[in-house]
Amino acid sequence: MKHVLALSTLYPNAVNPRFGTFVARSLEALAKRGDWRVTLVNPIGLPPLALGRYRPLAELAPVSIENGVTVHRPHFTLIPRIGARRNAAAIARAVLPLVQRIRAETPIDVLDAQFFFPDGPAAAEIAQATGLPLSIKARGSDISFWGEQGFARQQMLDAARAATGLLAVSRELAGQMAAMGMDAGKITLHYTGLDRDRFRPLGHTQLRSQLSREISFAMPDNAPLLACVGALIERKGQAIAIAALRDIPGARLVLAGQGEDEARLRALAISEGVADRVHFAGSIDHDLMPLILSAADVMVLPTVSEGLANAWVEALACGTPVITCDVGGAREIITCDTAGRLVARNPEAVAAGINAVLNNPPAREAVAALTEDFSWDANAAALAAHYERLTDAA
């Protein structure tokens, strides 16, 4: 059995159970195959005084076994808000001794970074010190946002040169990476996975009533139901979705997610006169998400940047068309009107796209069929093949 050690700054834990769940599902599926041992290092950034919201993070178990994956959580020193420039180096210093100890017990075949920043530059330092083959994955904002920050861009380009291979979650993102100066010949497309048992059309007649009880939000059967899934941050575009309600008579909007933009969004819903039609559901349990997406008529996400959003794929798998913007890998998912619409990032265009779907809704089974190639098993098989290529090249 070969052994991959993956580094991921975002990974679910008892304090933040929704962080990086897609990373966990991918690596768990890889471990389940039986041909790769999977060790995950989830560095926990703590300020010099771990008070307030940092205290529970400081108390997380340093090592655990989670769904077949051995998870280590070493600490590194974090300077909140202003320390991004040094985070990769701080992570490398904290993680390298751990990697060396793990390697002494069980040889490591591949080192893997699950995000391009800060994980990639940190992993590149560790790879240089250990001589291990290195894979780095790009997921979206790690390229589109951090790639615009001069210091991060340079760190990522240096890491890409040091890497044996690179992964991108969409063809469009692979193009962005090449345009930044990364070697296109190193880049392999690696689409997200999907829990096909969980994300599927749920068609029972009391679906909306059940959801209404679950989240304590009145949703009349004759009113359009819109779902918006994503962290409540400006770039996700919830403000645009709220403003679009003015032109969608009677529609209800459920915002699934939490984040720093919540207070502003609540004030906007009031000022737009639609507060009674917007529900802030907060962080949603993964078992409840399929219920929300299956009950919704449309999933709307007027985002400014994505790699390939898991929320797009999960909504389609539940039979729900998607209204989003022409960003990232959206064109690779929204390929026809059955899947939804790609619209301009303004309330009028978003409302027009939603109304177009509501006026001619596609069959849910036809929408769900568009995701038949997505599964965590397929994701894990592609990941295993990628790692095999890297070990053969080493």
pLDDT tens figures, 177-226? 999 999 999 999 999 999 999 999 997 678 888 999 999 998 888 899 99
Q: How far apart are CA 12 and CA 205, in angstroms?
A: 34
Residue at 7: amino acid letter: L
pLDDT over 90 for what percent of the chain?
88
Q: Is the pLDDT of residue 239 over 80?
A: yes
Pairing relation of β-strands 75-77 and 110-113? unpaired
Q: What is the value of pTM for the model shown? A: 0.90
What lies within 8 Å, CB to CB, of 270 at 6+ separation is none
Residue 23 confidence (pLDDT): 97
Residue 286 confidence (pLDDT): 79
pLDDT band at 96 (very low <50, low <70, confident <90, very high): very high
pLDDT tens figures, 28-69? 999 999 999 999 999 999 999 888 889 999 999 999 999 999
pLDDT tens figures, 329-354? 999 999 999 999 999 999 999 999 99
Q: Is the pLDDT of residue 144 over 90?
A: no
- The answer to whether the beta carbons of residues 341 and 356 sit under 8 Å apart is yes
Residue 83 confidence (pLDDT): 81
| Number of neighbouring beta carbons within 10 Å of residue 319 | 25
Q: How far apart are CA 34 and CA 319, in angstroms?
A: 32
Q: Is 103 exposed, middle or buried (0-12, 13-18, 19+ CB in 10 A)?
A: middle
pLDDT band at 122 (very low <50, low <70, confident <90, very high): very high
Residue 212: closest CA among 297, 291, 273? 291
pLDDT band at 146 (very low <50, low <70, confident <90, very high): very high
Q: What's the distance, CA 132 to chain centroid?
A: 27
Residue at 190: amino acid letter: H
pLDDT tens figures, 259-317? 999 999 999 999 999 999 999 999 888 789 999 999 999 999 999 989 999 999 999 99
Residue 7 confidence (pLDDT): 98
Q: How far apart are CA 44 and CA 65, in angstroms?
A: 17
Pairing relation of β-strands 69-72 and 63-66? antiparallel
Q: Is the pLDDT of residue 10 over 80?
A: yes
Q: Is the pLDDT of residue 394 over 80?
A: no
Domains belonging to the chain, first-starting first, are 2-193+375-393 (3.40.50.2000), 207-369 (3.40.50.2000)
pLDDT over 70 for what percent of the chain?
100
